[in-house]
Amino acid sequence: MNTTHKPEIFITESDRKALHSLAFAALSTPDIADELLNELDRAKITDHNKPVNYIGIGSKTTFMSAGKERTVELVMPEDADISLGRISILTPVGVALLGLSEGQSIDWTVRDGRAGTLTVVKIF
């Protein structure tokens, strides 16, 4: 039985299209690409004219994981720069954050294969 916690997530149609193409092009990271495609398949599409209250490309967020709080911006791979807090959507944490709202938690797999849970504290 799969006990992985997967909350309801939302994305815009424009993010869905861009990320769908990106996932199919991400041959160097097939596990992450597959996870991204799975998240896109289960995400609900929202009207891009509504207020943004979920994490999408370009969103800045603070989240908690393993007892540590981090503030990051979710970006496309070419804009990633960890020293500036810009994390790529093609990372395990990037895929985990996609579509979440404040207060939501999700189980995710850390790069070293450990299971973790992250909780969105704030989106700004």
13-30 per-position pLDDT tens digit: 989 999 999 998 886 778
Pairwise CA distance, residues 46 & 29, whole Å: 28
Taking the C-alpha atoms of residue 35 and residue 43, their distance in angstroms, rounded to an integer, is 12
Furthest C-alpha separation in the chain = 39
- Prediction pTM value: 0.89
74-117 tens-digit pLDDT: 999 999 999 999 999 999 999 999 999 999 999 998 878 889 99
Domains defined for the chain, CATH in brackets: 10-123 (3.10.50.30)
Is 80 exceeded by the pLDDT of residue 3? no
The C-alpha atoms of residue 95 and residue 78 are separated, in whole angstroms, by 16
Residue type, 28: S
Q: Which residue has the tokens 């149609």?
A: 13
